[in-house]
Structure 1
Amino acid sequence: MAEPGNRVAAGEPRSPWLRGGFVLAAAFIGFIAVIGAVLGVASDISGDDGSTTAKEPTTGAAGPSSAASTDAGTACPAPADSPQDVPNSAPTGVTWTLYDTVALPSSKKAGPAVAGKDLARCYAHTPVGALLATSQISVRYLAADDWLEVTRTQTVGAGRDAYIADRTKAEQTAAPGPDDGAHGQIAGFRFVTHNDTTAVIQTVWRFPDGRMQAATTTVLWQDGDWRLEYPADPPDPTPVDSLAGYTPWGGV
Protein backbone atom coordinates (compact mmCIF):
# COMPACT_ATOMS: atom_id res chain seq x y z
CA MET A 1 0.00 0.00 0.00
CA ALA A 2 1.35 3.37 -0.94
CA GLU A 3 2.15 5.84 1.80
CA PRO A 4 0.71 9.39 1.94
CA GLY A 5 2.93 12.10 0.54
CA ASN A 6 2.70 15.89 0.65
CA ARG A 7 -0.68 17.46 1.20
CA VAL A 8 -2.45 19.29 -1.58
CA ALA A 9 -3.15 22.96 -0.89
CA ALA A 10 -6.06 23.36 1.54
CA GLY A 11 -7.96 25.58 -0.88
CA GLU A 12 -8.13 22.95 -3.63
CA PRO A 13 -11.71 22.68 -4.94
CA ARG A 14 -13.73 19.65 -3.91
CA SER A 15 -16.99 18.41 -5.33
CA PRO A 16 -19.91 19.06 -2.96
CA TRP A 17 -21.26 15.68 -4.03
CA LEU A 18 -18.43 14.03 -2.09
CA ARG A 19 -19.66 15.68 1.11
CA GLY A 20 -21.64 13.26 3.18
CA GLY A 21 -24.18 15.83 4.40
CA PHE A 22 -25.18 16.80 0.88
CA VAL A 23 -25.48 13.23 -0.31
CA LEU A 24 -27.53 12.14 2.67
CA ALA A 25 -29.76 15.19 2.41
CA ALA A 26 -30.51 14.23 -1.17
CA ALA A 27 -31.58 10.78 0.06
CA PHE A 28 -29.14 8.76 -2.02
CA ILE A 29 -29.01 5.12 -0.93
CA GLY A 30 -27.05 1.91 -1.37
CA PHE A 31 -23.36 2.08 -2.13
CA ILE A 32 -23.71 5.81 -2.78
CA ALA A 33 -23.90 6.23 0.98
CA VAL A 34 -20.39 4.82 1.20
CA ILE A 35 -18.75 6.48 -1.77
CA GLY A 36 -20.77 9.65 -1.32
CA ALA A 37 -19.24 10.09 2.15
CA VAL A 38 -15.79 10.43 0.64
CA LEU A 39 -14.52 13.91 1.43
CA GLY A 40 -11.94 15.86 3.39
CA VAL A 41 -8.32 17.00 3.11
CA ALA A 42 -6.60 15.65 0.00
CA SER A 43 -3.12 14.15 0.12
CA ASP A 44 -0.65 13.37 -2.64
CA ILE A 45 -0.21 9.62 -3.09
CA SER A 46 2.94 7.57 -3.64
CA GLY A 47 2.83 5.13 -6.54
CA ASP A 48 4.04 1.54 -6.46
CA ASP A 49 7.49 2.66 -7.51
CA GLY A 50 7.72 5.14 -4.63
CA SER A 51 7.07 8.16 -6.81
CA THR A 52 4.54 10.73 -5.70
CA THR A 53 1.53 11.47 -7.81
CA ALA A 54 -0.63 14.55 -7.39
CA LYS A 55 -4.18 15.18 -8.45
CA GLU A 56 -4.98 13.32 -11.65
CA PRO A 57 -3.93 15.01 -14.91
CA THR A 58 -5.90 14.84 -18.09
CA THR A 59 -3.94 11.94 -19.50
CA GLY A 60 -4.81 8.29 -19.72
CA ALA A 61 -2.90 5.38 -18.25
CA ALA A 62 -1.59 4.56 -21.70
CA GLY A 63 -0.28 8.06 -22.31
CA PRO A 64 -1.47 11.60 -23.10
CA SER A 65 -4.87 11.95 -24.69
CA SER A 66 -6.18 14.87 -26.66
CA ALA A 67 -9.50 16.40 -25.70
CA ALA A 68 -11.13 14.68 -28.63
CA SER A 69 -9.79 11.28 -27.59
CA THR A 70 -11.73 11.42 -24.33
CA ASP A 71 -14.99 11.50 -26.28
CA ALA A 72 -16.97 8.39 -25.38
CA GLY A 73 -17.78 7.91 -29.06
CA THR A 74 -14.20 7.15 -30.04
CA ALA A 75 -12.94 3.58 -30.17
CA CYS A 76 -10.83 2.23 -27.33
CA PRO A 77 -7.22 1.24 -27.99
CA ALA A 78 -6.51 -2.46 -27.60
CA PRO A 79 -5.43 -3.09 -23.98
CA ALA A 80 -2.27 -5.04 -23.23
CA ASP A 81 -3.88 -7.04 -20.44
CA SER A 82 -4.87 -10.58 -21.40
CA PRO A 83 -7.59 -12.83 -19.94
CA GLN A 84 -6.72 -14.22 -16.53
CA ASP A 85 -8.19 -15.67 -13.37
CA VAL A 86 -9.86 -13.51 -10.76
CA PRO A 87 -7.02 -11.97 -8.69
CA ASN A 88 -6.50 -13.35 -5.19
CA SER A 89 -3.80 -10.80 -4.41
CA ALA A 90 -3.36 -7.08 -5.12
CA PRO A 91 -2.91 -6.51 -8.88
CA THR A 92 0.60 -5.52 -9.91
CA GLY A 93 1.51 -2.49 -12.00
CA VAL A 94 -1.17 -0.30 -10.44
CA THR A 95 -0.63 3.42 -9.85
CA TRP A 96 -2.79 5.36 -7.41
CA THR A 97 -3.72 8.94 -8.26
CA LEU A 98 -5.96 11.44 -6.52
CA TYR A 99 -9.29 12.25 -8.10
CA ASP A 100 -10.80 15.01 -5.98
CA THR A 101 -9.96 13.58 -2.54
CA VAL A 102 -10.03 9.89 -3.47
CA ALA A 103 -7.07 7.71 -4.47
CA LEU A 104 -8.07 5.82 -7.62
CA PRO A 105 -6.16 2.99 -9.32
CA SER A 106 -5.03 2.76 -12.92
CA SER A 107 -2.85 0.39 -14.92
CA LYS A 108 -1.05 0.69 -18.24
CA LYS A 109 -2.17 -2.84 -19.10
CA ALA A 110 -5.73 -2.90 -17.76
CA GLY A 111 -6.88 0.73 -17.99
CA PRO A 112 -8.26 3.23 -18.10
CA ALA A 113 -6.50 3.66 -21.43
CA VAL A 114 -8.22 6.98 -22.05
CA ALA A 115 -8.74 9.45 -19.21
CA GLY A 116 -9.81 13.05 -19.25
CA LYS A 117 -10.92 15.47 -16.57
CA ASP A 118 -14.14 13.58 -15.91
CA LEU A 119 -14.31 10.42 -18.02
CA ALA A 120 -11.90 7.53 -17.51
CA ARG A 121 -12.71 4.70 -19.89
CA CYS A 122 -11.36 1.83 -21.98
CA TYR A 123 -10.68 -1.00 -19.56
CA ALA A 124 -9.34 -4.44 -20.36
CA HIS A 125 -11.88 -7.22 -20.78
CA THR A 126 -10.37 -9.01 -17.79
CA PRO A 127 -11.09 -9.32 -14.05
CA VAL A 128 -8.49 -6.65 -13.26
CA GLY A 129 -10.05 -4.37 -15.88
CA ALA A 130 -13.42 -4.86 -14.19
CA LEU A 131 -11.92 -4.06 -10.78
CA LEU A 132 -10.34 -0.85 -12.06
CA ALA A 133 -13.57 0.14 -13.82
CA THR A 134 -15.75 -0.22 -10.74
CA SER A 135 -13.21 1.70 -8.64
CA GLN A 136 -12.99 4.57 -11.10
CA ILE A 137 -16.58 4.90 -12.30
CA SER A 138 -18.23 4.55 -8.90
CA VAL A 139 -16.35 7.64 -7.71
CA ARG A 140 -16.38 9.69 -10.90
CA TYR A 141 -20.12 9.62 -11.50
CA LEU A 142 -20.46 11.27 -8.08
CA ALA A 143 -17.42 13.55 -8.06
CA ALA A 144 -16.99 14.68 -11.66
CA ASP A 145 -17.82 18.25 -12.61
CA ASP A 146 -19.68 16.81 -15.58
CA TRP A 147 -21.23 13.97 -13.58
CA LEU A 148 -24.10 13.81 -16.05
CA GLU A 149 -21.79 12.82 -18.92
CA VAL A 150 -20.13 10.18 -16.77
CA THR A 151 -23.47 8.80 -15.61
CA ARG A 152 -24.98 8.68 -19.08
CA THR A 153 -21.86 7.25 -20.68
CA GLN A 154 -20.59 4.80 -18.09
CA THR A 155 -23.58 3.62 -16.09
CA VAL A 156 -26.53 1.45 -17.08
CA GLY A 157 -29.46 -0.02 -15.24
CA ALA A 158 -33.00 0.55 -14.07
CA GLY A 159 -32.02 3.11 -11.43
CA ARG A 160 -29.89 5.37 -13.59
CA ASP A 161 -32.58 7.71 -14.87
CA ALA A 162 -34.05 8.16 -11.39
CA TYR A 163 -30.60 9.03 -10.04
CA ILE A 164 -30.12 11.61 -12.78
CA ALA A 165 -33.53 13.15 -12.14
CA ASP A 166 -33.13 13.19 -8.34
CA ARG A 167 -29.67 14.64 -8.43
CA THR A 168 -30.57 17.29 -10.99
CA LYS A 169 -33.46 18.38 -8.79
CA ALA A 170 -31.32 18.34 -5.65
CA GLU A 171 -28.64 20.48 -7.26
CA GLN A 172 -31.27 23.06 -8.09
CA THR A 173 -32.78 23.17 -4.62
CA ALA A 174 -30.25 21.97 -2.04
CA ALA A 175 -27.09 23.49 -0.62
CA PRO A 176 -23.94 21.46 0.09
CA GLY A 177 -23.56 20.26 3.65
CA PRO A 178 -20.54 21.12 5.81
CA ASP A 179 -17.22 19.45 5.20
CA ASP A 180 -16.56 17.53 8.42
CA GLY A 181 -13.05 16.46 7.43
CA ALA A 182 -13.78 12.72 7.14
CA HIS A 183 -12.94 10.88 3.95
CA GLY A 184 -13.09 7.26 2.84
CA GLN A 185 -10.54 5.38 0.77
CA ILE A 186 -10.43 1.99 -0.91
CA ALA A 187 -9.02 -0.60 1.50
CA GLY A 188 -9.74 -3.95 -0.12
CA PHE A 189 -11.82 -5.96 -2.55
CA ARG A 190 -13.45 -9.33 -3.12
CA PHE A 191 -14.93 -10.76 -6.30
CA VAL A 192 -18.39 -12.20 -5.69
CA THR A 193 -18.68 -13.50 -9.23
CA HIS A 194 -17.11 -12.91 -12.64
CA ASN A 195 -17.64 -14.03 -16.21
CA ASP A 196 -17.12 -12.54 -19.66
CA THR A 197 -20.06 -10.15 -19.35
CA THR A 198 -20.53 -9.47 -15.62
CA ALA A 199 -18.39 -8.84 -12.57
CA VAL A 200 -19.84 -8.40 -9.09
CA ILE A 201 -17.27 -6.93 -6.72
CA GLN A 202 -17.32 -5.94 -3.06
CA THR A 203 -15.11 -2.95 -2.30
CA VAL A 204 -14.18 -2.11 1.28
CA TRP A 205 -13.97 1.58 2.16
CA ARG A 206 -12.04 2.70 5.25
CA PHE A 207 -12.74 5.99 7.05
CA PRO A 208 -10.36 8.00 9.27
CA ASP A 209 -12.08 6.84 12.45
CA GLY A 210 -11.24 3.22 11.54
CA ARG A 211 -14.77 2.37 10.48
CA MET A 212 -15.06 0.22 7.35
CA GLN A 213 -17.95 -0.57 5.05
CA ALA A 214 -18.25 -2.91 2.08
CA ALA A 215 -20.16 -1.78 -1.00
CA THR A 216 -21.27 -4.28 -3.64
CA THR A 217 -21.12 -3.05 -7.23
CA THR A 218 -21.68 -4.70 -10.59
CA VAL A 219 -20.00 -3.86 -13.88
CA LEU A 220 -21.28 -5.14 -17.22
CA TRP A 221 -19.30 -5.55 -20.44
CA GLN A 222 -21.26 -3.59 -23.03
CA ASP A 223 -20.21 -1.92 -26.29
CA GLY A 224 -16.56 -2.75 -25.80
CA ASP A 225 -16.07 -1.49 -22.24
CA TRP A 226 -17.05 -2.11 -18.62
CA ARG A 227 -20.02 -0.04 -17.41
CA LEU A 228 -21.29 0.37 -13.87
CA GLU A 229 -24.76 -1.02 -13.24
CA TYR A 230 -27.09 1.25 -11.32
CA PRO A 231 -29.94 -1.01 -10.14
CA ALA A 232 -33.40 0.20 -9.21
CA ASP A 233 -32.74 -0.91 -5.63
CA PRO A 234 -29.00 -0.64 -4.85
CA PRO A 235 -27.83 -2.90 -2.02
CA ASP A 236 -27.06 -1.21 1.26
CA PRO A 237 -23.41 -1.06 2.37
CA THR A 238 -22.48 -3.43 5.17
CA PRO A 239 -20.20 -2.78 8.16
CA VAL A 240 -16.88 -4.64 8.08
CA ASP A 241 -14.82 -5.35 11.20
CA SER A 242 -11.66 -6.42 9.38
CA LEU A 243 -10.27 -7.24 5.94
CA ALA A 244 -10.50 -10.97 6.64
CA GLY A 245 -11.86 -12.58 3.50
CA TYR A 246 -10.92 -9.56 1.38
CA THR A 247 -7.76 -8.75 -0.54
CA PRO A 248 -6.09 -5.69 1.03
CA TRP A 249 -5.67 -3.04 -1.65
CA GLY A 250 -5.49 0.73 -1.64
CA GLY A 251 -3.49 3.83 -2.39
CA VAL A 252 -3.54 5.56 1.00
Structure 2
Amino acid sequence: MIGAKRKRDPVDGPFYKQRGWINSALFLGFFVVMSLVTLAVGPKGAEVTENSRETLAGLGGPLSPGDPQQIRTGPGGRPENCRTDDRDTARPTAAPTDVKWRQLMTIMLPTSPSAGPLHTDATMWWCFAHTPTGAVLAAHVIPVQLSGTSWRIVAEQQIVPGRQRDSFVAGKAESEETNRRDNAVGRFTGFSTESYSDDSATVRLLVTNPLGGYLSTTVSVRWRDGDWKVALLDDGSLYSSAKQATPDGYIMWGA
Protein backbone atom coordinates (compact mmCIF):
# COMPACT_ATOMS: atom_id res chain seq x y z
CA MET A 1 0.00 0.00 0.00
CA ILE A 2 2.97 2.29 0.34
CA GLY A 3 3.88 4.14 -2.81
CA ALA A 4 7.03 5.93 -3.85
CA LYS A 5 7.41 9.51 -2.73
CA ARG A 6 6.27 12.05 -5.25
CA LYS A 7 6.85 15.73 -5.68
CA ARG A 8 4.17 17.51 -3.68
CA ASP A 9 1.19 18.86 -5.57
CA PRO A 10 -0.42 21.51 -3.32
CA VAL A 11 -4.15 20.94 -3.04
CA ASP A 12 -6.94 23.33 -2.10
CA GLY A 13 -9.09 21.43 0.41
CA PRO A 14 -10.27 21.96 4.00
CA PHE A 15 -9.55 18.39 5.03
CA TYR A 16 -6.24 17.98 3.24
CA LYS A 17 -3.62 16.81 5.72
CA GLN A 18 -0.82 19.23 4.97
CA ARG A 19 2.18 16.91 4.52
CA GLY A 20 4.96 16.75 1.97
CA TRP A 21 3.92 13.40 0.46
CA ILE A 22 0.91 11.10 0.64
CA ASN A 23 2.25 7.60 0.87
CA SER A 24 -0.62 5.23 1.54
CA ALA A 25 -3.71 4.18 -0.34
CA LEU A 26 -5.91 5.77 2.31
CA PHE A 27 -4.28 9.15 2.01
CA LEU A 28 -4.05 8.84 -1.75
CA GLY A 29 -7.84 8.42 -1.73
CA PHE A 30 -8.16 11.40 0.59
CA PHE A 31 -5.87 13.40 -1.70
CA VAL A 32 -8.14 12.65 -4.65
CA VAL A 33 -11.28 13.56 -2.73
CA MET A 34 -9.95 16.77 -1.33
CA SER A 35 -8.58 17.85 -4.68
CA LEU A 36 -12.26 18.01 -5.58
CA VAL A 37 -13.03 20.39 -2.74
CA THR A 38 -12.56 24.01 -3.68
CA LEU A 39 -11.13 25.32 -0.43
CA ALA A 40 -7.57 26.38 0.23
CA VAL A 41 -5.80 25.72 3.48
CA GLY A 42 -2.45 25.56 1.72
CA PRO A 43 0.45 23.23 2.36
CA LYS A 44 1.93 22.33 5.71
CA GLY A 45 2.80 25.38 7.76
CA ALA A 46 6.09 26.92 6.73
CA GLU A 47 9.04 27.83 8.90
CA VAL A 48 8.85 31.46 9.92
CA THR A 49 11.92 33.24 8.52
CA GLU A 50 13.01 36.85 8.15
CA ASN A 51 11.48 36.81 4.67
CA SER A 52 8.07 35.96 6.12
CA ARG A 53 8.07 38.59 8.88
CA GLU A 54 6.27 41.03 6.62
CA THR A 55 3.57 38.43 6.03
CA LEU A 56 3.00 38.18 9.77
CA ALA A 57 3.06 41.92 10.41
CA GLY A 58 0.00 43.02 12.35
CA LEU A 59 -0.99 39.55 13.52
CA GLY A 60 -1.39 40.41 17.15
CA GLY A 61 -4.88 38.98 17.81
CA PRO A 62 -6.99 37.13 17.67
CA LEU A 63 -9.49 39.88 18.39
CA SER A 64 -13.20 39.49 18.13
CA PRO A 65 -14.56 41.37 15.11
CA GLY A 66 -15.46 45.01 15.68
CA ASP A 67 -13.81 48.13 17.03
CA PRO A 68 -10.64 46.99 18.87
CA GLN A 69 -11.42 49.49 21.63
CA GLN A 70 -14.89 48.11 22.24
CA ILE A 71 -14.74 44.45 21.26
CA ARG A 72 -15.04 42.99 24.75
CA THR A 73 -17.32 45.45 26.54
CA GLY A 74 -20.22 43.00 26.71
CA PRO A 75 -21.02 40.59 29.57
CA GLY A 76 -18.43 37.91 30.17
CA GLY A 77 -15.83 39.70 28.07
CA ARG A 78 -17.81 39.17 24.87
CA PRO A 79 -18.27 41.72 22.10
CA GLU A 80 -21.17 44.05 22.85
CA ASN A 81 -23.05 42.94 19.73
CA CYS A 82 -22.59 39.19 20.32
CA ARG A 83 -25.38 37.67 22.40
CA THR A 84 -26.00 33.93 22.55
CA ASP A 85 -27.95 31.60 24.81
CA ASP A 86 -25.22 29.65 26.60
CA ARG A 87 -27.37 27.68 29.05
CA ASP A 88 -27.31 24.30 27.28
CA THR A 89 -23.93 22.86 28.23
CA ALA A 90 -24.81 19.23 27.41
CA ARG A 91 -23.08 17.57 24.50
CA PRO A 92 -25.50 17.37 21.57
CA THR A 93 -27.27 14.09 20.93
CA ALA A 94 -28.98 15.36 17.78
CA ALA A 95 -28.46 18.07 15.19
CA PRO A 96 -29.82 21.50 16.20
CA THR A 97 -33.53 21.72 15.44
CA ASP A 98 -33.05 25.22 14.03
CA VAL A 99 -30.16 24.31 11.71
CA LYS A 100 -30.03 26.32 8.49
CA TRP A 101 -27.68 25.45 5.64
CA ARG A 102 -25.90 28.38 4.04
CA GLN A 103 -23.44 28.44 1.19
CA LEU A 104 -19.95 29.83 1.68
CA MET A 105 -18.09 29.77 -1.61
CA THR A 106 -18.92 26.27 -2.91
CA ILE A 107 -19.49 24.63 0.48
CA MET A 108 -22.80 24.27 2.29
CA LEU A 109 -22.33 24.93 6.01
CA PRO A 110 -24.62 24.27 8.99
CA THR A 111 -25.61 27.36 10.94
CA SER A 112 -28.02 27.97 13.79
CA PRO A 113 -29.85 31.15 14.87
CA SER A 114 -29.35 30.06 18.48
CA ALA A 115 -25.81 28.57 18.42
CA GLY A 116 -24.19 30.58 15.67
CA PRO A 117 -22.65 32.03 13.78
CA LEU A 118 -24.89 34.96 14.64
CA HIS A 119 -22.93 37.37 12.46
CA THR A 120 -22.16 36.49 8.85
CA ASP A 121 -20.21 39.53 7.72
CA ALA A 122 -18.63 39.84 4.31
CA THR A 123 -15.20 39.00 5.74
CA MET A 124 -16.08 36.54 8.47
CA TRP A 125 -18.77 34.40 10.10
CA TRP A 126 -18.51 34.70 13.87
CA CYS A 127 -20.24 34.83 17.27
CA PHE A 128 -20.86 31.24 18.35
CA ALA A 129 -22.63 30.09 21.50
CA HIS A 130 -20.38 29.17 24.44
CA THR A 131 -21.81 25.64 24.35
CA PRO A 132 -20.87 22.26 22.87
CA THR A 133 -23.20 22.94 19.92
CA GLY A 134 -21.54 26.32 19.36
CA ALA A 135 -18.15 24.58 19.32
CA VAL A 136 -19.42 22.05 16.76
CA LEU A 137 -20.61 24.79 14.43
CA ALA A 138 -17.37 26.76 14.83
CA ALA A 139 -15.39 23.62 13.91
CA HIS A 140 -17.36 23.40 10.66
CA VAL A 141 -17.38 27.08 9.72
CA ILE A 142 -14.04 28.63 10.67
CA PRO A 143 -11.69 26.35 8.69
CA VAL A 144 -13.76 26.80 5.53
CA GLN A 145 -13.38 30.57 5.74
CA LEU A 146 -9.62 30.23 5.57
CA SER A 147 -9.90 29.55 1.84
CA GLY A 148 -11.53 32.89 1.07
CA THR A 149 -10.02 36.20 0.08
CA SER A 150 -10.24 37.42 3.69
CA TRP A 151 -8.24 34.48 5.06
CA ARG A 152 -5.67 36.77 6.72
CA ILE A 153 -8.37 38.47 8.78
CA VAL A 154 -9.88 35.11 9.66
CA ALA A 155 -6.45 33.78 10.65
CA GLU A 156 -5.86 36.74 12.94
CA GLN A 157 -9.24 36.75 14.58
CA GLN A 158 -10.31 33.11 14.53
CA ILE A 159 -7.13 31.07 15.05
CA VAL A 160 -5.49 30.79 18.47
CA PRO A 161 -2.26 32.84 18.31
CA GLY A 162 1.20 31.33 18.63
CA ARG A 163 3.89 29.50 16.70
CA GLN A 164 1.38 27.25 14.94
CA ARG A 165 -0.60 30.19 13.61
CA ASP A 166 2.57 31.95 12.44
CA SER A 167 3.58 28.77 10.63
CA PHE A 168 0.12 28.42 9.06
CA VAL A 169 0.04 32.02 7.84
CA ALA A 170 3.55 31.82 6.38
CA GLY A 171 2.71 28.59 4.55
CA LYS A 172 -0.65 29.89 3.34
CA ALA A 173 0.92 33.07 2.00
CA GLU A 174 3.49 31.04 0.08
CA SER A 175 0.76 28.97 -1.58
CA GLU A 176 -1.66 31.78 -2.46
CA GLU A 177 -1.02 31.32 -6.16
CA THR A 178 -2.09 27.67 -6.09
CA ASN A 179 -4.81 27.07 -8.66
CA ARG A 180 -8.17 26.27 -7.10
CA ARG A 181 -10.11 23.35 -8.50
CA ASP A 182 -13.80 23.79 -9.17
CA ASN A 183 -15.15 20.27 -9.33
CA ALA A 184 -17.27 17.99 -7.17
CA VAL A 185 -17.44 18.82 -3.49
CA GLY A 186 -17.56 16.55 -0.46
CA ARG A 187 -20.40 17.39 1.92
CA PHE A 188 -20.55 17.70 5.70
CA THR A 189 -22.85 14.91 6.77
CA GLY A 190 -22.26 14.20 10.47
CA PHE A 191 -20.31 15.04 13.62
CA SER A 192 -19.42 13.86 17.09
CA THR A 193 -18.01 15.72 20.09
CA GLU A 194 -14.84 13.91 21.14
CA SER A 195 -14.19 16.19 24.08
CA TYR A 196 -15.63 19.35 25.59
CA SER A 197 -14.81 21.67 28.45
CA ASP A 198 -15.62 25.28 29.18
CA ASP A 199 -12.55 26.46 27.28
CA SER A 200 -11.80 23.80 24.65
CA ALA A 201 -13.40 21.17 22.44
CA THR A 202 -12.46 18.61 19.81
CA VAL A 203 -15.04 17.84 17.14
CA ARG A 204 -14.94 14.93 14.69
CA LEU A 205 -16.40 15.70 11.28
CA LEU A 206 -17.92 13.14 8.93
CA VAL A 207 -17.68 14.05 5.25
CA THR A 208 -19.08 12.35 2.19
CA ASN A 209 -16.49 11.04 -0.22
CA PRO A 210 -17.42 11.92 -3.84
CA LEU A 211 -15.78 8.62 -4.76
CA GLY A 212 -18.06 6.72 -2.37
CA GLY A 213 -18.30 6.22 1.38
CA TYR A 214 -17.19 8.60 4.11
CA LEU A 215 -14.07 10.20 5.54
CA SER A 216 -13.57 11.64 9.00
CA THR A 217 -11.20 14.14 10.56
CA THR A 218 -11.08 16.30 13.70
CA VAL A 219 -10.89 20.00 14.45
CA SER A 220 -10.01 21.49 17.83
CA VAL A 221 -11.32 24.83 19.09
CA ARG A 222 -10.70 26.98 22.15
CA TRP A 223 -12.80 29.64 23.84
CA ARG A 224 -10.81 32.86 23.67
CA ASP A 225 -11.68 36.56 23.62
CA GLY A 226 -15.39 35.88 23.77
CA ASP A 227 -15.72 33.39 20.91
CA TRP A 228 -14.54 29.99 19.68
CA LYS A 229 -11.20 29.98 17.81
CA VAL A 230 -9.52 27.13 15.94
CA ALA A 231 -6.55 25.56 17.71
CA LEU A 232 -4.10 24.31 15.09
CA LEU A 233 -2.12 21.10 15.36
CA ASP A 234 1.56 21.29 16.22
CA ASP A 235 2.55 21.27 12.54
CA GLY A 236 0.18 24.13 11.70
CA SER A 237 -2.53 21.90 10.21
CA LEU A 238 -6.22 22.69 10.59
CA TYR A 239 -7.36 19.07 10.49
CA SER A 240 -6.13 15.75 11.82
CA SER A 241 -5.25 12.90 9.47
CA ALA A 242 -8.21 11.70 7.41
CA LYS A 243 -9.64 8.26 8.08
CA GLN A 244 -12.15 6.12 6.29
CA ALA A 245 -15.33 6.01 8.36
CA THR A 246 -18.91 4.84 8.64
CA PRO A 247 -21.85 6.83 10.07
CA ASP A 248 -21.85 4.69 13.22
CA GLY A 249 -21.37 6.83 16.28
CA TYR A 250 -21.99 10.12 14.47
CA ILE A 251 -24.88 12.54 14.75
CA MET A 252 -26.11 12.96 11.21
CA TRP A 253 -27.07 16.36 9.89
CA GLY A 254 -29.92 14.95 7.87
CA ALA A 255 -29.39 17.30 4.95
Deviation at 1:22, TM superposition (A): 3.6
Q: Secondary structure at the match of 1:39?
A: coil
1:154 aligns with 2:158: yes
Q: Percent identity?
A: 30
TM-score of the pair, normalised by structure 2: 0.68
- Match runs of 1:210-221 below 5 Å: 210-221=212-223
- Match runs of 1:1-252 below 5 Å: 22-23=11-12, 29=18, 37-39=36-38, 71=66, 73=68, 74=71, 75=79, 76-142=81-147, 144-156=148-160, 158-171=163-176, 174-176=177-179, 178-179=181-182, 181-233=183-235, 234=237, 235-240=240-245, 242-249=246-253, 251=255
> Per-residue CA shift, 1:51-104, capped at 9, x if unaligned?
xxxxxxxxxxxxxxxxxx953743142213423310111121110011111111
> Per-residue CA shift, 1:172-193, capped at 9, x if unaligned?
xx440543x2211101001111
Matching residue's letter, 1:39: T
Unaligned runs of 5+ in 2: 1-8, 20-29, 40-63, 72-78
> Per-residue CA shift, 1:7-52, capped at 9, x if unaligned?
xxxxxxxxxxxxx96438xx9617x977775239xxxxxxxxxxxx
Aligned length: 197
Q: Secondary structure at the match of 1:23?
A: coil
Q: State which structure, 1 or 2, has the greater radius of gyration over its C-alpha atoms.
A: 2
Unaligned runs of 5+ in 1: 1-19, 41-68
Q: CA–CA distance in 1 between the matches of 2:140 and 2:12?
A: 19
Matching residue's letter, 1:106: T
- Structure having the higher strand fraction is 1
Deviation at 1:207, TM superposition (A): 2.7
Matching residue's letter, 2:12: V
TM-score of the pair, normalised by structure 1: 0.69
Cα gap change, 1:98/1:70 in structure 2, threshold over 3 Å: closer, same or farther? Answer: same
Deviation at 1:135, TM superposition (A): 0.8
